[in-house]
Structure 1
Amino acid sequence: MDCYCGSQKSYKECCEIFHKNGGKTETAEQLMRSRYSAFVLANGDYLMQTHHKSTRPTKDKKNIEKWAKSVQWIKLEVLETTVNTVKFNAFFFENGKPDVIHENSKFVKENNHWYYLGFAK
């Protein structure tokens, strides 16, 4: 099965590795892609674990999981990547209607580990 993140690799050879190793990716883009796959799988633990502690929405974990399960994920489109930002579109159906999340995400590397910070300005 192809990975949810659109990498052209199998899930087992791609995002599953990061889901099992606690998000130890080499790049911000790999982390973003693995987080997208975690949304597809409604893996709230991974989303919290890879969200930087300074911006982590721990009280919203259950709502995030519930929402992620309620939509039908279509595809991820990476538009632009820098060392610590990733601009992307995440396409999905919600209540039978197509929608898209367009985001320029910011990441930070601490102790050789990438974390999602939030929206880049």
Structure 2
Amino acid sequence: MAGMSRRSSRPARRPARTATPPSSRACPCGSGGTYAQCCGRFHRGEAAAPTAEALMRSRYSAFAERDEAYLLRTWHPRTRPPRVEFEPGLRWTGLEILATSGGTAFHTTGTVTFRAGHAGGELREHSRFERVGGAWVYVDGDVG
């Protein structure tokens, strides 16, 4: 029979399933692009987020990917915690940007209001961003 060897009674092994490569899987931020071309390039340090909204999206993706280094790197020095605590088992399921103010190349501050879904609920936050050394960083936010 197909898949069986005459010398063994074990069935032939099926090729192992591989995870979708980062270059082709959808970005967690919901942009519609691939992770590699969207937030992945920010996480890898190949580019800086050009707007406060882009930084917000990339930080959401960093939470989904559990990329502590990126989150700390993009947190304002005056409000940055010593480390990021990820809630065990929490799986982020989607991001919706509700409003933005400022946060473009012409601004030094900006805000983004968003809703982030997760298994079991959602987080809603009004986040504040500033430019430090020309790069957007997360300052803080009001949850609610």
TM-score between both structures, scaled by the size of structure 2: 0.73
How far has the Cα of 1:23 moved from its partner?
6.6
RMSD: 1.7
- Report Cα offsets for 1:28-57 as digits up to 9, x if no partner: 000000000000011111111100010001
| Partner in structure 2 of residue 105 of structure 1 | 127
Distance 1:102 1:74 in 2: 13
Distance 1:117 1:91 in 2: 21
TM-score between both structures, scaled by the size of structure 1: 0.86
Give the percent of matched residue pairs that are identical in Structure 1 and Structure 2: 38
TM superposition outliers: structure 1 runs of 4+ over 3 Å:
none
| Partner in structure 1 of residue 3 of structure 2 | none
Distance 1:120 1:73 in 2: 19
SS in 2 for 1:70: coil
Pairing 1:57-72 to 2, within 5 Å after superposition: 57-58=81-82, 60-61=83-84, 64-65=85-86, 67=87, 69-72=88-91
Could you tell me which runs of 5 or more consecutive residues in structure 1 were left unpaired when the two chains were aligned. Answer: none
1:26 to 1:20, Cα distance in 2 relative to 1, 3 A: same
- Mapped pair 1:117 → 2:139: yes
The answer as to whether partners of 1:23 and 1:46 remain within 8 angstroms in 2 is: no
Larger relative strand fraction: 1
| Partner in structure 1 of residue 115 of structure 2 | 89
| Higher RCO (Cα < 8 Å, 6 or more apart) | 1
Distance 2:46 2:73 in 1: 7
Distance 1:23 1:51 in 2: 16
The answer as to whether partners of 1:75 and 1:90 remain within 8 angstroms in 2 is: yes
How far has the Cα of 1:120 moved from its partner?
5.4
Could you tell me which runs of 5 or more consecutive residues in structure 2 were left unpaired when the two chains were aligned. Answer: 1-24, 103-109
- Mapped pair 1:75 → 2:110: no
